[in-house]
Structure 1
Amino acid sequence: MKNNIYLNLYKDYAEQIDTGVLPPGSKLPSENELAATYQISRETVRKGLNLLAQNGYINKIKGKGSFVLDTGRLKFPISGLVSYKELSERLGKKSRTIVHATERVRAGNDIAKELRIEADQPIWKVIRSREIDGERIILDIDYLLAEVVPELTKEIAADSIYQYLEQELLLKISYAEKVICVERATDLDHQYMELKDDTHVVVVRGYVHLEDTTLFQYTESRHRLDKFQFVDFARRISVTET
């Protein structure tokens, strides 16, 4: 829709900044130049630039222009449901997944409560570190229903579990509920992440559902504080009284 054309500008420049095509300190084209390139009004250009500024991509300096920021942090989307493999490709960073455990176990009381199942029901427990630019800064702990995922190998976990579920098992992953908080680092965090002097981590808990609404995965994605910012795009919808 024409009213959303500014999103094209936003997505184009967000991708160029995320992938390093536009390094920190780069100056974006002027509003007039962008208006000519995208064949839109300057007002629409400003909407796109304002969104880039709101999400930490650029700094707008009056009378000088818009400049790419260097936050030193990786941008992880709050909304949307993407695998780490898809996200790392989008970020354009050198990354590696280290699988510490892939085992079929009894759910136990705590995980059974999260997955809303019986404590003796079998699940897969997967523990993986994510190494980005040579540092282990994410710890992912996943629990998946064995009745939905009958087989899971270390090789699959090292590549992409979601790719395996969708392309091999033909499952349709639909949506996730997410809870984000800051918690004291655990022994596992210290064992599998390079936390330096950090005593706390950002924890993203996810409850992932299939298309038929089945809750089949509970996950804890644990992040080093200094390396991440979580971003989202929110649009206000006007409600008119009739």
Structure 2
Amino acid sequence: MKTNKFIAVYHEWADMINTGEIAPLSKLPSENELAQKHETSRETIRKALQMLAENGYIQKIRGKGSVVLDVSKLSFPVSGLVSFQELAKSMGKETRTIVHEIQVVKPDERLQQSLHAKCSDEVWKVLRVREIEGEKVILDKDFFMRSFVPSLTKEICEGSIYEYLENDLGLPISFAKKEIVVEEATEEDKSVLDLDGFTHIVVVKNTVYLEDASLFQYTESRHRLDKFRFVDFARRRS
């Protein structure tokens, strides 16, 4: 399938901004210069620049052109339901997953409420640290109902659990309810993350459901404050 020219232009410049080849606050070439460089029309360039603006890469300022914004923070979607491995591929950064704990536990009162579980149920507890470009900046605490996920291994947890659940177990993961809060870092956070002096972290809490609305997972993704921005696309309805 042939890719629209403006999308190719968008990706080329977005990649250069993401990698730092184009510094924040610098200006992109004019529409005419870009059209000549890419051997295309100004209309195609306008569409590419509009995409860059909509996705937070540039700010178009009258009389000054297209100014590059600081995208050094890593972008995580608010409304999307994606795995860390999927995000890692899109970020294009060196990442590593370190499994700290994997075991079957009986849910405490808090987990019983979060998973709608009974005290007699069994739950997989998985603690993983996400390292990005040498810094440990995310602690993922995942809890899966064992009735839906009979087995897990360290090898699976070092890769993509969602890939295993969907491809091997055939679980139709459908939607999640999210809550985003800022909390004081716990002793556990301090012991496994490179907090770089920060005393608080951003916590994204998810309850995840299957297609039949069965609740099978509760997760807390605990992020170092300075490294992440949570993004979504919003359009005002008329």
Q: Contact between 2:23 and 2:68, CA under 8 Å: does it hold in 1?
A: yes
Question: Whole-Å Cα distance in 1 between the matches of residues 53 and 132 of structure 2?
Answer: 29
Amino acid at match of 2:92: G
Question: Whole-Å Cα distance in 2 between the matches of residues 182 and 10 of structure 1?
Answer: 37
1:51 aligns with 54
SS of the residue 1:118 aligns to:
coil
Structure 1 segments unaligned to the other structure (5+ residues) = none
Question: Whole-Å Cα distance in 2 between the matches of residues 115 and 18 of structure 1?
Answer: 41
2:165 aligns with 165
Point out the more displaced range, 62-71 or 85-94. Answer: 62-71
Structure 2 segments unaligned to the other structure (5+ residues) = none
1:12 aligns with 11
Tell me the matched-pair count: 231
Amino acid at match of 1:59: Q
2:23 aligns with 24
Could you report, residue by residue, the CA deviation over 1:103-128 in whole angstroms, capped at 9, with x for unpaired residues?
Answer: 01111211010011112210000000
- What does 1:109-188 correspond to in 2, within 5 Å? 109-188=109-188
Question: Whole-Å Cα distance in 1 between the matches of residues 215 and 119 of structure 2?
Answer: 15
1:190 aligns with 190
Could you report, residue by residue, the CA deviation over 1:172-230 in whole angstroms, capped at 9, with x for unpaired residues?
Answer: 11111111010000111011101121110000001111111111110000000010111
Could you report, residue by residue, the CA deviation over 1:54-98 in whole angstroms, capped at 9, with x for unpaired residues?
Answer: x3x223343232133234311111111111001011000001000
Question: Whole-Å Cα distance in 2 between the matches of residues 10 and 210 of structure 1?
Answer: 38
Question: Whole-Å Cα distance in 2 between the matches of residues 102 and 14 of structure 1?
Answer: 41
Q: Contact between 2:128 and 2:141, CA under 8 Å: does it hold in 1?
A: yes
* Residue 157 to residue 42, structure 1, CA distance change in 2 (3 Å): closer
SS of the residue 1:233 aligns to:
coil
2:102 aligns with 102
Amino acid at match of 1:24: A
* Residue 13 to residue 68, structure 1, CA distance change in 2 (3 Å): farther
* Residue 36 to residue 86, structure 1, CA distance change in 2 (3 Å): same
Question: Whole-Å Cα distance in 1 between the matches of residues 126 and 17 of structure 2?
Answer: 29
Question: Whole-Å Cα distance in 1 between the matches of residues 178 and 83 of structure 2?
Answer: 14
* Residue 59 to residue 134, structure 1, CA distance change in 2 (3 Å): same
1:84 aligns with 84
Q: Contact between 2:209 and 2:215, CA under 8 Å: does it hold in 1?
A: yes
* Residue 58 to residue 162, structure 1, CA distance change in 2 (3 Å): same
Shift of 1:45: 6.0
Amino acid at match of 1:12: H
TM-score, with length taken from structure 2: 0.85
Amino acid at match of 1:222: R
SS of the residue 1:89 aligns to:
helix
Shift of 1:9: 7.9
TM-score, with length taken from structure 1: 0.84
SS of the residue 1:97 aligns to:
strand
Q: Contact between 2:17 and 2:71, CA under 8 Å: does it hold in 1?
A: no
2:74 aligns with 74
* Pairwise CA RMSD: 2.8
SS of the residue 1:85 aligns to:
helix
Q: Contact between 1:18 and 1:92, CA under 8 Å: does it hold in 2?
A: no
Question: Whole-Å Cα distance in 2 between the matches of residues 121 and 182 of structure 1?
Answer: 30
* Residue 220 to residue 10, structure 1, CA distance change in 2 (3 Å): farther
Question: Whole-Å Cα distance in 2 between the matches of residues 78 and 18 of structure 1?
Answer: 22
* Residue 231 to residue 14, structure 1, CA distance change in 2 (3 Å): farther
Question: Whole-Å Cα distance in 2 between the matches of residues 92 and 15 of structure 1?
Answer: 12
